[in-house]
Amino acid sequence: MEYVLKTNSLCKNYGHFKALNGLSMNVPKGSIYGLIGKNGAGKTTLIRLICGLQEPTSGDYVLYGKKHIDKDITKSRRRMGAIVETPSIYVDLTAYENLKEQYKVLGIPSDDGISEILKLVGLENTGNKKAKNFSLGMRQRLGIAVALAGSPDFLVLDEPVNGLDPQGIIEIRELILKLNQEHGITVLISSHILDELSKLATYYGFIDNGKMIKQISSIELESKCRKCTHLKVSSTKTLAYVLDTMNIEYKILSNTEADIFEKVNISKLTTELSKKDCEVISIHEHDESLESYFVSLVGGARHE
Could you tell me which residues come within 8 angstroms of residue 234 by beta carbon, excluding any fewer than 6 positions away? 256, 278, 279, 281
**Rounded CA separation 4/26 (Å):** 8
What CATH number has the domain bearing residue 183? 3.40.50.300
User: Which element (helix H / strand E) includes 9?
Assistant: strand 3-14
113-150 as b/e: b if 16+ CB within 10 A: bbeebbebbbbeebeeeebeebeebbbbbbbbbbbbbb
> Residue 304: what pLDDT?
37
Question: How far is the CA of 152 from the CAs of 11, 44, 82, 180, 244, in angstroms?
Answer: 27, 20, 9, 12, 52
Q: Indicate if 267 and 153 belong to the same structural domain.
A: no
175 lies in a domain?
yes
| pLDDT digit string, tens, across residues 265-284 | 889 999 999 999 999 999 98
Q: Indicate if 112 and 58 belong to the same structural domain.
A: yes
Question: CA angle, corner 211, sides to 207 and 216, nearest 5?
Answer: 50
298 lies in a domain?
no
DSSP state of 179: H
Amino acid at 137: G
Q: Indicate if 181 and 273 belong to the same structural domain.
A: no
The stretch 148-154 carries a mean pLDDT of 93
Collapsing DSSP to helix, strand or coil, 48 comes out as helix
The stretch 148-176 carries a mean pLDDT of 91
192 lies in a domain?
yes
| pLDDT digit string, tens, across residues 10-38 | 999 999 999 999 999 999 999 999 999 88
**Rounded CA separation 165/252 (Å):** 44
Question: Helices in 38-188 by DSSP H: which ranges?
Answer: 43-50, 73-77, 95-106, 114-120, 136-148, 166-183
Q: Indicate if 154 and 14 belong to the same structural domain.
A: yes
CA neighbor of 207 nearest in space, from 20, 66, 31: 20
Collapsing DSSP to helix, strand or coil, 66 comes out as strand
> Residue 301: what pLDDT?
40
| pLDDT digit string, tens, across residues 48-82 | 999 999 999 999 999 999 999 998 898 898 899 99
Q: Indicate if 214 and 68 belong to the same structural domain.
A: yes
Q: Indicate if 25 and 48 belong to the same structural domain.
A: yes
Q: Indicate if 232 and 213 belong to the same structural domain.
A: no
The number of domains in the chain is 2
Beta bridge partners of residue 26, listed in sequence order: 6
Q: How confident is the model at residue 302 (pLDDT cuts 50, 70, 90)?
A: very low
Mean pLDDT of the chain: 90
131 lies in a domain?
yes
Asked if 179 and 155 touch (Cβ cutoff 8 Å), the reply is yes
Where is average pLDDT lowest: 162-166, 242-246, 277-281? 162-166
Q: Indicate if 232 and 174 belong to the same structural domain.
A: no
User: Which element (helix H / strand E) includes 271?
Assistant: helix 266-275
**CA-CA-CA-CA torsion sign (151, 67, 49, 213):** positive
Amino acid at 66: K
**CA-CA-CA-CA torsion sign (33, 36, 41, 43):** positive
Range of the domain at 261: 226-287
What CATH number has the domain bearing residue 259? 3.30.70.100
Q: Indicate if 34 and 170 belong to the same structural domain.
A: yes
Q: Indicate if 132 and 14 belong to the same structural domain.
A: yes
Q: Indicate if 185 and 253 belong to the same structural domain.
A: no
| Ramachandran angles phi, psi of 20, nearest 5° | -125, 135
Q: Indicate if 124 and 211 belong to the same structural domain.
A: yes
